Amino acid sequence: MQPLICKLGTSYIKCRLIGGVHLLALFACWFNGLDLLWQMLLSILLLTSFVMHLAHERRCTPVSICYTDKNEWYVLEKDMKRTKVVISPNTVVTRWLIIVYVVAQKKHWVVPVFRDAVTADIFRRLQVALRVSIN
């Protein structure tokens, strides 16, 4: 199998999903019988959750997932550190979303790869490489 470098981009589906869930929770907070003080407190907590989630995404998500012709997997982190990893059999591969469970010596990642985060060709090749690796 040919080497693969899956450079992870921004997924607008993921951003909309996370924003939508927070927005629904915000509506549920305001359209019920709670006191105004509780509604404001819950709104602040939801906005804080949203901001912290975005910061966590930028800080903790790997930049790239790489597959070599020697059947080895690597993760390229934000600091450009290349780490050899093992793909867990718990990895989920679907037509629209790939959830990659990556295990290194001292770290582990759960990397969701939405279809719009990479090109169609890279997404297809990643699906095939993962299916071959976890079987």
pLDDT in the model for residue 8: 87
pLDDT in the model for residue 134: 83
Which H or E run contains 9? none
Alpha-carbon distance of 12 to 38, in angstroms, equals 32
Shared domain for 78 and 42, answered yes or no, is no
Which H or E run contains 71? none
Following DSSP, what letter does each residue of 105-123 receive, concatenated?
SS-EEEEEEEGGGS-HHHH
Model pTM above 0.75: yes
pLDDT in the model for residue 23: 94
Shared domain for 66 and 130, answered yes or no, is yes
In the chain, which ranges are continuous DSSP H helix? 12-30, 36-60, 120-134
pLDDT in the model for residue 60: 66
Shared domain for 79 and 48, answered yes or no, is no
Shared domain for 70 and 55, answered yes or no, is no
| Domain range for 50 | 12-59
The number of distinct structural domains making up the chain is: 2
Shared domain for 23 and 85, answered yes or no, is no
If we measure between CA atoms, which residue out of 86, 101, 93 comes closest to residue 124?
93
Tell me which residue has tokens 């990397």.
111
Shared domain for 72 and 126, answered yes or no, is yes
Alpha-carbon distance of 128 to 135, in angstroms, equals 11
Which portions of the chain are predicted below pLDDT 70?
Answer: 1, 60
Shared domain for 66 and 54, answered yes or no, is no
